[in-house]
Amino acid sequence: MPEQDVRVTDHEIHALFPLDCGGMRDTFDQPSATKSYEAQITQHRLNPAWVSEFLENPAPESQDPLWIRLEPGKGISLDDFQPHIRQILGQSDQPLLCLAFRLRTPKVLSQIRGGKPRTWDFPLGKAAQARCGRENMPVQLLDARFFMFRTGIAILDIAWKYPVQEVTPDGVLEGNYLLSHDNHYGSTRASGPEILRTIADALLPTIQGNRFELHGDRRILYSLVQYRGDAATEDTLSTFALRLALRQNNAYLPDRDAFAHGFYQPFPYLCHAAAVEGGATVIQESAEAPEFIRSFLRDKGRNTYLPLFIAEMHNHFWLLRQSQWLPARRSSKGSRSEKQEIAEIYEATVEYRRFFSPILVSEISVHNTFHELWQRALRIQERTRQVEEISQVTVSLLQEKRTRWIGRISGGIGGFLVTREILEALSFNGFFFNLPPMEEWFARYPSMAPVIQEMLIHRIQVWDGIVFLGSVAGGLLGLWISWNFDASMKKE
């Protein structure tokens, strides 16, 4: 981006850390469960050993409980939004879809004892130094929020800024590139961007007795940036927003046309960009821009577009989890438990569509277009249909396997019973070893000599053995016939 007479006047960068807290949909909105979740989160404290190692000269509040329930800010038109958006903003609704928390005292992270800003200096590589004219990039953490959703997805949001007197657009790009790639520079934990992950780990509460791991080394960023300057044009505005969303510096030259589906520019001075890597809202100050644009970042940016982004990323993370069920939940092949688990995935998808997948998220058109932008960028609807279709087809296949086995077993049982009936009929009709029919046998038996009685009893015992073995053979024959019938039908 051209930097002559261009400077960033305000900015706020948000990093999202997703977590999987397991299935909560059956208990999430029960009052007892809600109180339990809230108590576990609001009682969480920083580990004193971690504080002494990572927070130099910590504020006294560093030993207090970290989290408190988020309440809606003043002046936010909550009635404009769907229930799950309102709950991300802190309103309590039923059914409960999201528990939102904020830091009780943000200065635990943002300030040292005495009130001075706490900053970390992250060294930049030589190429980055040449691009932005700095050897390192200072970072000041501003705040953090924690969102726990009914689906079991939780999102930790950490916000920061680059406290540089004359921060440039390229400086923001380089800082974002550095802090979104833990594994890029190979720095030590104390001085490199890994400290951001370390801080995130320390902030995470224990839920249901479990500490959940963060996912991925390349985290998703959402950048709110406001700038002014003569070199700023409509084209550079969208290109800058696109680079922020893609977490790229100016060494990359994204084709604006190739990513046309990835940005939304409702006004010449405002551009939203969306990508799988992250998003951005960029405001250009100019003589043509209305006065409210000057406070857009702290007002609408943080209290409207950031919550909408959180909602979209919840959908993204939930779909990632659902699409990974096959390797993660594989039990014995074709088992009843596997079928039940897959059926539960489908049921969870139906509930997800009901609560988290509205066509419109707001009564305001620009909000809904922003929602559509993210739906396209993350391909939410396509992925949702894929999860539904795969779970339905898989359940059908497992049901077919179970039905096939029932047919085979039924064939074996049928062969056993039919053979037994035939052999028993032979015995009643006297076809074996000149034995009389059973009715005649019972009439003549008492008058027979003992030797003949013993001989006939022996023959009956032999015959009973033949009947049993013949029935087993008939059962095996029935099983073989049904098995080969299934195989021939499968080939056809």
Averaged pLDDT for residues 168-187 = 78
Better-scored residue on pLDDT, 144 or 438: 144
Better-scored residue on pLDDT, 184 or 239: 239
Q: For residue 316, give the nearest of 350, 354, 276 by alpha carbon.
A: 276
Q: How far is CA 108 from CA 10, 45, 57, 61, 141, in A?
A: 22, 11, 11, 6, 10
Q: Which two tokens stand for residue 64?
A: 């207090």
Q: Which two tokens stand for residue 115?
A: 């009130």
Given this model, what pLDDT does residue 294 score? 78
Given this model, what pLDDT does residue 231 score? 52
Averaged pLDDT for residues 432-442 = 55
Given this model, what pLDDT does residue 360 score? 92
136 bridge partner residues: 123
Averaged pLDDT for residues 182-196 = 56
Given this model, what pLDDT does residue 64 score? 92
Averaged pLDDT for residues 289-298 = 80
pLDDT above 80: residue 352: yes
Percent of the chain with pLDDT over 70: 71
Given this model, what pLDDT does residue 186 score? 46
Given this model, what pLDDT does residue 234 score? 57
Given this model, what pLDDT does residue 325 score? 53
Better-scored residue on pLDDT, 310 or 337: 310
Band (pLDDT 50/70/90 cuts) for residue 189 is very low
Would you say 264 and 271 are in contact if contact means Cβ atoms under 8 Å apart?
Answer: yes
CA–CA separation, 108 and 113 (whole Å): 9
Of 178-182, 196-200, 355-359, 369-373, the range with the highest mean pLDDT is 369-373
Burial class of residue 9 in the structure, from the number of CB atoms within 10 Å of its CB (0-12 exposed, 13-18 middle, 19+ buried):
middle
Given this model, what pLDDT does residue 65 score? 94
Sign of the torsion formed by the C-alpha atoms of 54, 57, 63 and 65: negative
Summary mean pLDDT of the chain: 79
pTM: 0.79
Least confident of 120-129, 163-172, 174-183, 298-307: 174-183
Q: How far is CA 402 from CA 246, 326, 334, 413, 452, in A?
A: 47, 19, 7, 16, 53
Averaged pLDDT for residues 285-296 = 79
Averaged pLDDT for residues 340-358 = 80
Task: List, for residues 447-461, the tens digit of each pLDDT value.
Answer: 666 776 677 666 666
pLDDT above 70: residue 9: yes
Better-scored residue on pLDDT, 283 or 210: 283
Given this model, what pLDDT does residue 41 score? 92
Better-scored residue on pLDDT, 404 or 489: 404
Sign of the torsion formed by the C-alpha atoms of 129, 130, 134 and 137: negative
Band (pLDDT 50/70/90 cuts) for residue 332 is very low
Of 47-61, 199-213, 317-331, the range with the highest mean pLDDT is 47-61
Of 13-17, 118-122, 402-406, the range with the highest mean pLDDT is 13-17
pLDDT above 50: residue 359: yes
Averaged pLDDT for residues 120-148 = 90
Band (pLDDT 50/70/90 cuts) for residue 176 is very high
User: Which positions ≥6 away from 416 have C-beta within 8 Å?
Assistant: 471, 472, 474, 475, 478
Given this model, what pLDDT does residue 487 score? 54
Q: Residue 464: in which H helix or E strand, if any?
A: helix 450-491
Q: For residue 293, give the nearest of 232, 379, 248 by alpha carbon.
A: 232
Task: List, for residues 191-243, the tens digit of each pLDDT value.
Answer: 456 788 889 989 998 877 666 666 655 689 999 999 987 655 556 888 899 99
Task: List, for residues 95-117, the tens digit of each pLDDT value.
Answer: 888 999 999 999 999 998 888 99
